Amino acid sequence: MKKLTVLSLAVMVALAGCSSDDDKSDNNIIAVDNAVAVGSAQCINGGIETQVGVDTNENGVLDSDEVNSSNLVCNAPATSLTTEQLANLTGNAWYSDAQTKLSATQQANNEAVTESGKAKNVILFVGDGMGISTVTAARILAGQLEGGMGEDYQLSFETMPYSGFVKTYNVDAQTPDSAGTMTAMVSGVKTDVGVIGVDEDIERGVCSTVAGNELVTSLELAEIAGKATGLISTARITHATPAATYAKSADRNWEDNSDMPAGSDACEDIASQLVNFEANLEARFAGIDVDGIDVVMGGGRRHFLPKDAAANSSDAISAVEGDRTDGRNLVTEWQATYPNGNYVMDQTGFDAISDDATKVFGLFNESHMQYEADRANDVAGEPSLSQMTEKAINVLNNNENGFFLSVEAGRIDHAHHAGNAYNALNDTIEFAKAVKAAMDSTNPEETLIVVTADHSHVFTIAGYPKRGNPILGKVVAVGQTEPSLAADDMPYTTVGYTNGLGYRDLGDETNADASYLAAPVTGRVDLTNVDTTTPGFHQESLVPLSSETHAGEDVGVYAMGPGAHLVTGTNEQSFLFHVMDFAADLVKTADETVAQ
């Protein structure tokens, strides 16, 4: 910038000295202001240099030989950016959204309940097999199902103020299973793969090693403390994850007596332990009086019924539904123990459960419950995971001492094992709806909600698809409309598996387990004319196996409510028990009850 200034008569005379009045050029004195750029050597913050001299050639510009003097004035250091300078930031939606998130995080930190024992209720949500890649892909799919691009969507539990990571290895296994991982979460003690409710001194499959190695779980502590207790799973209720809350077993596969080897008579099968939970707990802790688990809902009816067609349920698929070889009907045994309880086995029975029910026992399938996408095909109808969660909370809320509830989305894991991302992601979305139901049905000031996974899967999100590309579709690069081709000149999908059964094109088939009807596919398949977004499409895998496997990396954990501030950083899986105990004083309250 240059600015010409006409000087005063006094200054002109001083500069002109003894010049003749006839010498007009000597009196043509001007001043020029030159801007000094920010970052210059003279003025780091910029400024103005004023040059004064005689414009002898009358061209209105001071040449270097015409300058008589100069004055440099530097700008003061800048203390803030101007509104104009910040406009590209403050006017950007990514920037403003982050500011909103920052404010919400600060508010959550200010409102955090950091004292122990402030949680009246505790809810533990476990997405079985829900690794980080599963959460990411489910988030994108959920957003796309609602008409958005997907990547910027958030599942319900992702909005919780606290999160961290959990190391999932078992004591004896780098890549874990659900038995050892869930035992760690609900007992505070990591243990071996394949065992339930016992510590690492157990020998898997050996009944005699159970005695003396039993652990106490958060559900059992809540029972002793006088709280209501509940257990929900879309898998068999005797399966590893739900069983870890109530059973002690040298093998996760001992779901009923027919699954147990000879010489195991001293051990009780898992289904029997569930029905006898109240009596077993009172026998372990002399003098206590508990009322048993208040709400149990899931699949696995076959493990509770005798191997006798006369005991079949109305929706039995097998000619003989029951597996038990001891002649016991554990459903009728439960009904005899809780004559005022509600035993239900279909959607109609579920819908009839009143919120003031005292005991609920729901077995909605012979084996596992249906995948969420396949639920409409159930013979007698099944409630969704979110419906079961809401109903359980309504029933458990009748206890003025509060409650402990464990909720598992068990079929995320099964869909991954079958190599079917469609069902794994849709069951994860339903899991997020169940979490949302709990968030809406409880008071965050008195309820700790913890959401996590027991382990992950070898499920990947790869390639370079453009933003908004269907997460179940083929990779289409940025700026392109046709699928990208691999080095073998064939398209490939964004999501896939490192190992497993591999490619299947089953069209509209919503039962992921149909993949087991054929042998593993080896090598690549030309997907050019295949719709990879259909329910029955199963992604390709690198290593052919009879079933896709778990993975060993960390999983996420999310939390809200009293004590949730402890859920941060990277932790052993057993740490989660201690967070729940801190929040609700489970050990302290149970210990005081036993002492009385």
Q: Within 13 Å, how many C-alpha atoms sit on residue 442's CB side?
A: 32
In DSSP terms, which residues pair with 173 in a beta bridge?
170
Residue 531 CB contacts under 8 Å (≥ 6 apart), including other chains: 537
Q: Which of 156, 178, 187, 541 is catalytic?
A: 178
Task: In whole angstroms, give the CA distance from residue 230 to residue 20.
Answer: 109
Q: Reduced to 3 states, what is the DSSP secondary structure of residue 97?
A: helix
The DSSP secondary-structure symbol of 259 reads: G
The DSSP secondary-structure symbol of 103 reads: H
**Is 484 a catalytic site residue?**
no
Q: What are phi and psi of 108, to 5 degrees?
A: -60, -40
In DSSP terms, which residues pair with 249 in a beta bridge?
196
Q: Within 13 Å, how many C-alpha atoms sit on residue 95's CB side?
A: 7
Residue 196 CB contacts under 8 Å (≥ 6 apart), including other chains: 179, 182, 183, 240, 243, 244, 247, 248, 249, 251, 252, 270
Task: Count CB neighbours of 582 within 10 A.
Answer: 21
Task: In whole angstroms, give the CA distance from residue 313 to residue 10.
Answer: 114
Judge contact between 162 and 564, C-beta under 8 A: yes
Q: What are phi and psi of 95, to 5 degrees?
A: -70, -50
Judge contact between 381 and 228, C-beta under 8 A: no
In DSSP terms, which residues pair with 73 in a beta bridge?
48
Task: In whole angstroms, give the CA distance from residue 417 to residue 536.
Answer: 14
Task: Count CB neighbours of 30 within 10 A.
Answer: 19
Task: In whole angstroms, give the CA distance from residue 444 to residue 79.
Answer: 42
Residue 366 CB contacts under 8 Å (≥ 6 apart), including other chains: 299, 300, 301, 302, 313, 315, 316, 317, 318, 321
Task: In whole angstroms, give the CA distance from residue 278 to residue 293.
Answer: 7
The secondary structure element, H or E, covering residue 11 is: helix 9-16
Residue 521 CB contacts under 8 Å (≥ 6 apart), including other chains: 501, 502, 503, 504, 540, 541, 544
Q: Reduced to 3 states, what is the DSSP secondary structure of residue 89?
A: helix
In DSSP terms, which residues pair with 121 in a beta bridge?
447
Q: Reduced to 3 states, what is the DSSP secondary structure of residue 146?
A: coil
Task: In whole angstroms, give the CA distance from residue 361 to residue 295.
Answer: 6
Q: What are phi and psi of 431, to 5 degrees?
A: -60, -45
Helices 93-111 + 83-90 axis angle, to 10: 80
The secondary structure element, H or E, covering residue 594 is: helix 586-595
Helices (H), 442-523: none
Catalytic residues: 178
